[in-house]
Amino acid sequence: MAIAAPPALRAIHTHTVVALLEDRPGVLNRVVSLFRRRGFNIETLTVGHTDLPDISRLTVVVEGDDRIVEQVVKQLYKVIEVLKVSDVTADRVVTRELALIKVATGGTTRSEIMQICDIFRAKIVDVASDSLMIEVTGTQDKVESLVQLVRRFGIKELVRTGRVAMVRGSQGVTRVDDE
Amino acid sequence: MVTVSKAEQRASHAERNVEGQRLGGAQILCEALLREGVEIVFGHPGGAVLPLYHVLTDYPIRHVLVRHEQVAAMAADAYGRIKGRPGVCFATSGPGATNLVTGIASAMMDSVPVVAITGNVPTFLLGGDAFQETDITGITLPITKHNFLVKDVNELAETVKAAFHIAGTGRPGPVLVDIAKDVFTTEAVFQYPHTVNLRGYRPTYHGNMRQIKAAAELIAHAHRPLILAGHGVVISGAYDELLELAEKCDIPVGQTLLGLSCFPQSHRLSLDLVGMHGTSRANRAIQECDLLIGIGMRMDDRVTGKVSGFAPHAKVIHIDIDPAEIGKNVRTHVPIVGDARQVLRALNSVVKPAKHPQWLARIAEFEERHPGRQWHPADGLQVPFVVDAIYRATDGDAIVTTDVGQHQMWAARFYPFDRRNRWLTSGGLGSMGYGLPSAIGAQFAAPGDVVWAVVGDGGFQMNIQDLATVREHSLPIKIALMNNGYLGMVRQWQQLFFQHNYSSSYLGSPNYVKIAEGYDIPGRAAKTDDEAVAAVRWAMDTPGPVLIDFRVAEEENVYPMIPPGGALSDIIEDPRD
Ligand SMILES: Cc1ncc(C[n+]2csc(CCOP(=O)(O)OP(=O)(O)O)c2C)c(N)n1
Ligand SMILES: [Mg+2]
């Protein structure tokens, strides 16, 4: 009998799965329904257009061990409009998230916030008398760190996208062979 | 009134060519169905499909009016199983469509090709909660292989083509096509596509040769190999290939509930049913085997029991057309994705002949201790006795359908099949009420065959109204009602696991013979062994439908049994053994 690893060391971590879908009504519903029904834990889910007019691209961050993620990939493939699925977790990938953060500003804090934004290469996209809106793009860690740093000034509103991912180099989750 | 036979209609329809002509949607649908080889549809009309029903009478497509849409879906399911191509059902919007749901879900769980066609409210009312609108594509999304909502008549023909293709290929399953009412009456140029364009749908039929060789290698080194054969063998028609593999390598074959009738049960290598109410020898063999070969089955929990205690000494080869089933429940050493027949053909060409006399002798010991086809004479008529009487009277050659419960398990155990694809039961969903509708579908699919519906008194009453359909078409179905006055399987669980507390499992008994007679179907009751044998004989000698009310013992249990949540080794044998 193997001794179970403590929770933190177990192979349960998040996986980034990318799927190409036919861009038709109801497809996203099918995919989301699949995750719900099979009890897959989604951290984020992002869908958008690709360079091809009839294909959209889904990036989903799922929690689970390898066996669960294997099921995620296989079950996704069973959806008729799903054209290609890749678990890119182990690949060299660029991942990005975007956040808009509305932070309260007082007389002295404004410049402090702007300095922090500089360091994070975040942009101030709106200014009001008592608040700033920050736009930040980066990995989940980076976005997370900035949010933590500005929290003490008072976050009035926060919105984050899910993760998008792309494999580095010339290979990737691209075209679906059309025969 | 001038009546034209469907055969005459078919002949005249074959001559006219409507390709390129403008037709209404309802006609386009019928033309499409004809091109898919559809001869019969089970359905029930209503507002949203009236334009379809109006044109249907012009076509050489037979429509069987059922008395509840669930029966339409289940009859289409049975028809699909017997024919090996999609059965078709029609229903109207709203309640008509929702009544199909249990039948569709059953077909999904059992991988049966069905095309369900529903009408919906007109496109301009869709989404507005109009009278009898339901989001049936939303409702059936998780219980169909795929579904479509057609709002544009120009997409109708290609949608129907895709529906039949998806339902009938790969791992078969139900496909629902929901059609807005105005589509039926809007015209378009009819052009039936020759091919489908489904980029994301490409089932794998041929197994990977490297894996097949790896499987052959495991088989060559196994001392105690075992095959678990499932519905996939029936669906792919891999009977000969399975027999060849078993005989060539001397491997015993257990069958899942839906795998029954895929391997001759009189064969020395047949272990018969595996799983929760499987034979003692089959389940014990699983626990001792060193190689398990799953073929066209999905390691369902009713087969494996507690997974951690399942086949503890075995390496696993798993052959299935659905990659998602492999490794889902049981750790697999050699996964082979492909059609059972294709894979077995390839495997048979690379395996070496073997003999396993010791292993088979060991299994024979299990059988000797707890014989699979023995029951204990007890007070009252026993279901195994009745099933055996039917088996003898039909030379084991009937198509047998069942409801769900104790009688289902006894039918599975005491009607050994040598012929292929003669067994229709709701295995995955376990839908009570399946027995009569499936007998109807089967009898239409195989008009010359003898069909016995072995039904429970609980399940039968869930679709009893369709005795009317049986009568209307004079279907010679022999209904064997196993009347124990209880929801027997529920009562058994309550007895064994809920301290005998028979909470809401007692049914009592209406006068079933009178009910049958009310539908003009001859009926008779049987209380003793002699009466039972005579009644079965009478049923066989009586043309047309009959019903026999077998007054079987009330409180019998099905053994052996794997307790829920237990491992196969926790098997509960009959205390009287
Ligand atoms: C539609 C449906 N409802 C409930 C159940 C749960 N269930 C499984 S077996 C059973 C009892 C069936 O009784 P009966 O048809 O009389 O068959 P018996 O077990 O007595 O042979 C029930 C209620 C089911 N399988 N299907
Ligand atoms: Mg009963």
Check whether residue A136 and residue A158 sit in a common domain: yes
Q: Are residues A104 and A35 in the same domain?
A: no
Between the CA of B401 and the centroid of ligand 1 the distance, in Å, is 15
Chain B CB contacts of A65 below 8 Å: none
**What is the predicted pLDDT for the residue at A178?**
47
CATH of the domain at A131: 3.30.70.1150
Is position A172 within any domain? no
> pLDDT tens digits, chain B, 577 residues: what are they?
556 777 777 777 766 789 999 999 999 999 999 999 999 999 999 999 999 999 999 999 999 999 999 999 999 999 999 999 999 999 999 999 999 999 999 999 999 999 999 999 999 999 999 999 999 999 999 999 999 999 999 999 999 999 999 999 999 999 999 999 999 999 999 999 999 999 999 999 999 999 999 999 999 999 999 999 999 999 999 999 999 999 999 999 999 999 999 999 999 999 999 999 999 999 999 999 999 999 999 999 999 999 999 999 999 999 999 999 999 999 999 999 999 999 999 999 999 999 999 999 999 999 999 999 999 988 899 999 999 999 999 999 999 999 999 999 999 999 999 999 999 999 999 999 999 999 999 999 999 999 999 999 999 999 999 999 999 999 999 999 999 999 999 999 999 999 999 999 999 999 999 999 999 999 999 999 999 999 999 999 999 999 999 999 999 999 999 999 999 999 999 999 8
For B151, residues 6+ apart whose C-beta sits below 8 A from its C-beta are B123, B126, B180, B183
Q: Quick check: pTM over 0.80?
A: yes
* Same-domain status, A101 and A113: yes
Nearest Cα neighbor of B106 from B476, B473, B515, B430 is B430
Tell whether B502 lies on the interface with A, counting CB pairs under 8 A.
no
Atom 2 (ligand 1) nearest CA: B432
Q: What is the C-alpha to C-alpha distance for residues B347 and B337, in angstroms, rounded to an integer?
A: 13
Cβ under 8 Å to A: B residues 164-203? 166, 198-201
Mutate to test the pocket of ligand 1, among B487, B551, B561 (most ligand atoms within 8 A of CB): B487
Q: Are residues A134 and A120 in the same domain?
A: yes
Is the CB of B404 inside a 6 Å radius of any atom of ligand 1? yes
**Could you tell me the residue range of the domain that residue A47 belongs to?**
10-91
What does the DSSP assignment read for B221-283? H-SSEEEEE-HHHHHHT-HHHHHHHHHHHT--EEE-TTTTTSS-TTSTTEEEE-STT--HHHH
ipTM: 0.93
Is it the case that residue A108 has pLDDT exceeding 90?
no
What torsion, rounded to 10 degrees, do the Cα atoms B456, B458, B462, B467 define? 50
Asked whether residue A34 falls in the same domain as residue A104, the answer is: no
Query: Which band of pLDDT confidence, cut at 50, 70 and 90, is reported for residue A5?
Result: very low
Q: Is the CB of B441 under 6 A from ligand 1?
A: no
Count Cβ neighbours within 10 Å for each residue of B513-524 and write b for 16 or more, e otherwise.
Answer: bebbeebebbbb
Are A98 and A78 members of one domain? no
Q: Which of A91, A110, A144 is the last residue of a domain?
A: A91
Domain shared by A118 and A138, yes or no: yes
Decide whether any atom of ligand 1 lies within 6 Å of the B458 Cβ: yes
- B489 classed as catalytic: yes
Q: Please give the order of strands across the beta sheet that includes A13-22.
A: A41-49, A55-64, A13-22, A82-87
User: Taking CB atoms and an 8 Å cutoff, what residues of chain A touch B198?
Assistant: 80
Same domain, A38 and A86: yes
Residue A156 lies in a domain: yes
Of A65, A91, A117, the position where a domain reaches its end is A91
The catalytic position among B19, B21, B131, B573 is: B131
Domain count, chain A: 2
Ligand nearest to the CA of B412: 1
Q: Does the B383-559 domain belong in CATH 3.40.50.410?
A: no
Contact criterion met (CB below 8 Å) for B469 and B71:
yes
Residue A1 is assigned to a structural domain of this protein: no
Does residue A105 share a domain with residue A44?
Answer: no
- Identify which of B167, B136, B144 has the alpha carbon closest to the alpha carbon of residue B37: B167
The single residue of B109, B299, B489, B561 carrying the catalytic annotation is B489
Residue B129 has φ and ψ, to the nearest 5°, of 60, 40
The two beta strands, A13-22 and A55-64, are: antiparallel
Residue among B31, B36, B42, B69 flagged as catalytic = B69
Residue A4 located in a structural domain: no
State whether A37 and A77 are in the same domain: yes
Nearest Cα to Cα of residue B407 among B576, B262, B277, B544: B277
Fold of B209-369: Rossmann fold (3.40.50)
> How sure is the predictor about A9, in pLDDT bands with cuts at 50, 70 and 90?
very low
Instruction: Confirm whether A72 is domain-assigned.
Output: yes
The yes-or-no answer on residue B492 being catalytic is no
CA distance A55 to chain B (A): 11
Q: Where are the domains of chain B?
A: 6-189, 209-369, 383-559
Residue in chain B lying closest to A74 (CA): B324
Same domain, A14 and A87: yes
Q: What is the pLDDT of residues A52-95, one digit of tens each?
A: 999 999 999 999 998 999 999 999 999 999 999 999 998 999 99
From CA B465, how far away is CA B462, in angstroms rounded?
A: 8
pLDDT at B281: 98
Distance between B282 CA and the closest CA of chain A, angstroms:
28
Contact between chains at B199 and A78 (C-beta distance less than 8 A): no
Q: What is the CATH number of the domain that holds A80?
A: 3.30.70.260
Distances, alpha carbon B443 to alpha carbons A131, B114, B310, in Å? 76, 17, 39
Distance B486 CA to ligand 1 centre (A): 9
Residue nearest (by alpha carbon) to ligand 1 atom 11:
B487
Question: Does A3 reside within a domain?
Answer: no
A30, A78, A84: which to substitute to probe chain B, counting the most B Cβ within 10 Å?
A78
Distance from CA of B72 to the nearest CA of A (A): 26
State which of A56, A91, A126 marks the end of a domain: A91
Q: Name the residue among A29, A71, A82 with its Cβ closest to that of B324.
A: A71
Active site residue B6: no
Residue of A nearest to B140 (CA): A30
Domain B6-189 has CATH 3.40.50.970: yes
B314 near B287, Cβ under 8 Å? no
